[in-house]
Chains A and B, each alone.
Chain A
């Protein structure tokens, strides 16, 4: 099983990184621009300027009480609702962030990011994840930036990978369903997730065959190509369900005619809750694999992968 092998290797590498990273302040953490961000001391006040993933990470790591500001988004987790807002995602107000006197601005991107750095604030934005290992690495990097060391991240990574392995074992050997992930765009053909995206890996682990596996990363695919590959099932944003019915090309796809359209919020793919997403997709693609209770083997913790 090459997938299993790759999976175990990824986990192993993750644990090695985690182990090697155990260190106190100051720490240097690599960011999305290939630089090393120097964190001199403990971070007590955090502004979350990035997407939902970052709010989820600080929540999962038990450091949510350090968050003093969040960027506006329709999906802010319940516990951050009462916290001051610092503007739109990708365009936070530099003044409002400064007024909160944060030690760290997490996940800032877009035009205001350079302004935040110029204002002397410590900005940390990790490289976007290409796969599940990338999401786990993001969790670990955020924790190291805030706490100076890895504490909860390795355990969280183990828990998440265990959940994925359990789902994978249920769909193992089942015939793969040909799936496409489609996001309509204005003025151009729809966008899809190909190889080198967490969505692609999650689809494959959920027992799907991504019909656009050969397109690199997030790529626009022509309506002609969508018709030619005619997937058995498609996954769209909940707000695009209407599009699958009204667009003449999409509504004529085999998947739509057979009613095999699943709505998944885009933020749930690159998320700390990705096992839930895989489970939902897998149960939708292979309902028969989920009609029986969890196999006994999955309830016991897997063998330690620590080298």
Chain B
């Protein structure tokens, strides 16, 4: 190979992929980053929406990592294609609705396409054997390489010494002796390496970077599929699952109740697409109604909406209901908090 070898790194915004890219740069490889947007990414959204998170940095960590490394980052929208991974994962789900193994195979496969289109030589990831229970195991790592089609053009610099040599190693594009043999769940080796490389600031998202690993979120998605009688979704559906309190008092409708001002403001953008209600006699949250509620359902929803406003202890609360551009006002007794069945809360 005459020119510098070129690698594309899957950059999540976390420490491991940052280190993997850095190791390659140190070996003289030209590295560019690729980051996939599935719609389920935790990245920034809730911080951008929720008022109480206003103080948290709103940076996109993948972009931030790329800038620290001095590499280009290509962010790819895979929302539509990703649906089949979430809806029908060939390797099944993890503890929640997280199709981690299928997800990794899909992303590495997309990276392989990108490599071919852009004249790059190989793919790197920050995977470490044993780091994650589903996708980062010694027996699943070859599955990812094989089923993605990347085969031996997939290099994992942090644990390469525990795996057979890949094409970049055999061809001498990278020096295997300067790769690493990390394994297990411990983060200590990565943290020590970061320190050695002078990397002090990095994201450490608790529970990973995908909402599908979150139990509460997965429950809401399963409820959505059950209520609609089909396993499908649109981007707005999965965005709304990240926001507010979700209550399903009846099978034919659910309520999305903003928990604070930032969420209310965000839900305002969806008002036109939903029946919605707002307390008028007291301060309270905007509530969207998803589904097909009847008259009695709306009165029940209004009582529940009243329970979440500042008039929760009042005898009556005035609630404005907007449906098909028609606005009406009802006076209801707030639903007593202790009478809300637990199974209504999704």
Q: Please indicate whether A and B come from the same complex rather than being unrelated chains.
A: no
State the A residues within 8 Å of B (CB): none
